[in-house]
Structure 1
Amino acid sequence: MTTTHTIHWLGAGLSSAPGIIALAKKSSAIIVWNRSLDKAKSALTNNEIEIDVRQLDWQALASTVKPGDLLVSMLPATLHIEVAEFCLKHKAHFVSSSYISEQMQALHSQAQDAGLCFVNEVGLDPGIDHLLAHLLVDDYKKSAQFSPDNQHYFRSYCGGFPKVANEFKYKFSWSPLGVLKALKSPAKWRENGEVQNSTAPWYALSQYKALLSHGYETFQAYPNRDSLPFLKQYHFQDNWDVQQFVRGTLRLNGWSSAWRPLFDEIENLDSVNGEQRLQAISKELEDKYSYQQGEADRVVMCVELEVQQAGKVVWHKSYHLDSQGNEDGQAMARLVSLTVSLAIETVFEGKIPTGVSAAPDKPEQISQWLSTLTSLGESIGSHNHL
């Protein structure tokens, strides 16, 4: 990657290092800005390269950023809009791995008018899952079996957990508070041709048999957030018979039993003292179930499209990844930040449209991204189930 512009990577937390190092090996024009200088320098220690790490100071950043530069926000999601508005002011591109919020989408016209790319949803989930979903839908549309009248079943699940399962069936890569708050988030998806709603994961748990490279493995799964807007994003047409469409989270078998006391307490928290108690629970969990230095995590993702006609399966294909932590970093960190790094390179290549956008949906571009991830050691498998 050759560019005269500078990449400003904001936030060097646990999910950033592999992507930063990969970019720095290709270009010296990268500056990492982090609130804790020592933590960032420690995370980015590498024998092959030296990375410019600076204290995150908005005035210093403002005096350094030039038009045409690119800012990566790996800061808490609540700060993405602030960074995006900063980018508009300083005529810089923006990249984030987070979901596109309404406030972010509202910046589309301004970014487009300024000739800027504001790219989001280019991490693991959302990110790689989008790429795989687009490939499946494109393959199916080109197949002889395609018909809007078929019954369509789409499932996309992803989860991260320790490579060696513990009694809690989970470990935290970052503050548990976000995970706890997500447990109280409503979800919406389509099942049996009808829209379904859930107020918490324990009301919508199911068993999911994932077909991985070593064969089938059973996980627990539950819907995550609102799946329905992704029907349009994945190019499902309004006239399709969609029996199932769900984007959700995978957990190790036994997770719901191990977490039952937490579920019970969180469900009954009152609004007055709830936040304070969540903070306390978060601290307890962080102390007890954080990853140890060098401990390997595991990430599993499965994205599949099954198509039936009069009760008979006529088309069924799936993609999967099953990654473990290694000497290049935790699986979660690699898959998130390496995909972010691909988005950055694609922006500088002029191959991403201006305005607010999510992960690419064109098969040729997706294939290039997946090929690059494979060359970096990440393995994505596929199965034709017929």
Structure 2
Amino acid sequence: MKNILIIGAGKSSSYVIKYLLEKSNEEKLHLTIGDISIENATKLINNHKNAKAIIFDVFDKNQRENAIKNATIVVSMLPARFHIEVAKDCLKYGKNLVTASYVSPAMKALDKQVKAKELVFINEIGVDPGLDHMSAMQVIDKIRNKGGKMLLFESFTGGLVAPESDTNLWNYKFTWNPRNVVLAGQGGAAMFIQEGTYKYIPYHKLFRRTEFLKINNQKFEAYANRDSLKYRETYGLKNIPTMYRGTIRRVGFSRAWNIFVQLGMTDDSYSIENSENMSYRDFVNLFLAYSPSDSVELKLRSYLKIDQDDVMWEKLLELDLFNPNKKIGIKNATPAKILQKILEDSWTLQENDKDMIVMQHLFGYEKEGKKEQIESSLIVFGENQNYTAMSKTVGLPLAIATLKILNGEITKPGVQIPIAKEVYQPILKELKNHGIEFIEKKVPYLGYNPNHVIG
């Protein structure tokens, strides 16, 4: 039996486990699911004969090394910052590794050693990053093979709530790690290039510079991802005039989210004294000027110039932000942690809620003196809270890549992402069997349209 060690049994692990268990008899697989809490792992295994759950503490060196030593291949579903410890053990014991996370500098530094041992360390093989890389490279390679010269590449992805479960004014619920949503866009200016001109958007302006999209007759908006420029070299588009990557939300979300940014509620750099005893109303008042007479509501509307009949105000009221009786209950919390707690009250998926993944790529190119454009779009809907669209689009590419490495179909050694044809082609082909398929169509070449961008 081939022993697959899956480390982490969180929200994105359900489809990894489901797919590999379905293949386990045919492919002679045995799954070991390790997690600090064994309950979810046990639930996902559901007494399957070809799997077992173990308690796994990534900081327990002996336990970690023993589990990795006994594996044929390792799939790390841990938070990105913990992958490196797993990777070092995989290198030490000669095990291939698969993760969905961005390649960190520490992971990249292992590349020579990984190649020397002829090991495969595939990263960025989830949805974004992952599915975006593979689907983009498939079209880019096709354009190049037909003699086209790339002029424009724009890529947008969003994890959203499905229309039938869209029950709040924000048109949003948490479909992945809430902390990542609250901290989105921080850590430096958003960087991209349009028509040969470099653009930089500082964090405090990010959510007022949005682009409008229409996908499958639905309207969306997108704000810029932090660094689009690094993908020029990754995709072989070093001299491309326009390169932009963004995150999709429903129209109106970014303008409302900007309220939290301007107040300072998304800051994660300091702790608030006595936060556990504060009410939601106290928290809002922290960021507003003192007044012996004006209410918190009046001060906030005045500071941000929000009319009482504005839908923005209705969105804030819906979150119960001004409730004097609800307590934060988190000791020494940062503003970002408190905001996350408040949002989880309203934005957590309910038992029957479904989510969806939306992705769109735009490819502009010149061929034989004529400018053309291809639009490639994907919408995937979740089944329920356990088998979400997010876990499906993260987990299936991971699981498929794992099996193809095990079977010797993916052999290129080194620390890598899935941009090579021999990697992305078989994975995308298999994904079609599971309802993950991009719809491509030719559209008029637009190039950079200044009406798309606000601000």
TM over 0.5: yes
* Structure 2 match to 1:157: 156
| Cα separation, 2, equivalents of 1:72 and 1:134 | 24
Between Structure 1 and Structure 2, how many residues are aligned?
370
How far residue 365 of structure 1 moved from its aligned partner, in angstroms, is 4.3
Cα distance change on mapping 1:329 and 1:384 into 2, 3 Å: same
| Cα separation, 2, equivalents of 1:268 and 1:339 | 32
Contact map agreement 2:221 2:249 (CA 8 A) in 1:
yes
| Cα separation, 1, equivalents of 2:367 and 2:425 | 29
Structure 1 residues 205-241: Cα deviation after superposition (integer angstroms, max 9, x where no partner): 32332343xxx432111121211121111122x4x4x
Confirm whether residue 284 of structure 1 aligns to residue 342 of structure 2: yes
| Cα separation, 1, equivalents of 2:352 and 2:411 | 36
How far residue 184 of structure 1 moved from its aligned partner, in angstroms, is 2.1
**Residue 169 of structure 1: which of 163, 171, 182 is its match?**
171
**Residue 14 of structure 1: which of 11, 15, 18 is its match?**
11
* Structure 2 match to 1:52: 52
Cα distance change on mapping 1:268 and 1:372 into 2, 3 Å: closer
Question: Which structure: larger Rg?
Answer: 2
* Structure 1 match to 2:362: 304
Letter in 2 for 1:368: P
Cα distance change on mapping 1:45 and 1:377 into 2, 3 Å: farther
Contact map agreement 2:173 2:347 (CA 8 A) in 1:
yes
TM-score, length-normalised on structure 1?
A: 0.88
Extract unaligned runs of 5+ from structure 2.
273-332, 445-455
**Residue 244 of structure 1: which of 242, 245, 264 is its match?**
242
Cα distance change on mapping 1:140 and 1:299 into 2, 3 Å: same
* Structure 2 match to 1:202: 206
How far residue 287 of structure 1 moved from its aligned partner, in angstroms, is 2.6
Structure 1 residues 290-324: Cα deviation after superposition (integer angstroms, max 9, x where no partner): 112241001100112012589x9622112211011
Tell me which moved more, 64-73 or 51-60. 64-73
Tell me which moved more, 129-138 or 329-338. 129-138
Contact map agreement 2:182 2:340 (CA 8 A) in 1:
yes
SS at match of 1:173: coil
TM-score, length-normalised on structure 2?
A: 0.75
- Name the structure where strand makes up a greater proportion of residues: 1
Contact map agreement 2:30 2:50 (CA 8 A) in 1:
no
Structure 1 residues 88-118: Cα deviation after superposition (integer angstroms, max 9, x where no partner): 1222111110111111100101111122111
| Cα separation, 2, equivalents of 1:190 and 1:13 | 36
**Residue 295 of structure 1: which of 332, 347, 353 is its match?**
353
| Cα separation, 1, equivalents of 2:222 and 2:352 | 27
Confirm whether residue 140 of structure 1 aligns to residue 143 of structure 2: yes
* Structure 2 match to 1:359: 418
**Structure 2 counterparts to residues 198-277 of structure 1, below 5 A:** 198-200=201-203, 202=206, 205-212=209-216, 216-236=217-237, 238=238, 240=239, 242-266=240-264, 269=267, 271-273=269-271, 276-277=334-335
Tell me which moved more, 72-81 or 323-332. 323-332
| Cα separation, 1, equivalents of 2:108 and 2:381 | 34
Structure 1 residues 166-190: Cα deviation after superposition (integer angstroms, max 9, x where no partner): 2122211344222222232332111
SS at match of 2:244: strand
Extract unaligned runs of 5+ from structure 1.
none
Cα distance change on mapping 1:353 and 1:223 into 2, 3 Å: same
Tell me which moved more, 202-211 or 91-100. 202-211
> What stretches of structure 1 move > 6 A for 4+ residues in a row?
none
Cα distance change on mapping 1:301 and 1:175 into 2, 3 Å: closer
**Residue 314 of structure 1: which of 366, 371, 384 is its match?**
371
Confirm whether residue 40 of structure 1 aligns to residue 41 of structure 2: yes
